[in-house]
Amino acid sequence: MNERISIDPRICHGQACVKGTRIPVHQIVRMLANGDTIEDLLREYPSLTREDILACLDYTATLAEEYISPIEEITE
């Protein structure tokens, strides 16, 4: 889906991670949601790049965009 995000059942129980790391996408997004900045994350995770962090946001946005149609209740 994204060249910077990988999903491997042998790494972090198959959670989406930044490729080449064991850093889950959800961890990066949650840290941003809790007020950390991109610069904070780059300091805390020197192996990450700005593009990796943006890829996490893009991946998450793609998941949120997914349309799930409700099951209609049949009444008789």
Tens of pLDDT, residues 7-64: 999 999 999 999 999 999 999 999 999 999 999 999 999 999 999 999 999 999 998 8
pLDDT of residue 74: 65
pLDDT of residue 76: 62
Residue indicated by tokens 């889950």: 24
In this structure, which topology does domain 5-62 adopt according to CATH?
Answer: Arc Repressor Mutant, subunit A (1.10.10)
Question: Where in the chain are the domains?
Answer: 5-62
Question: Nearest 5 degrees, angle CA 69-CA 15-CA 44?
Answer: 125
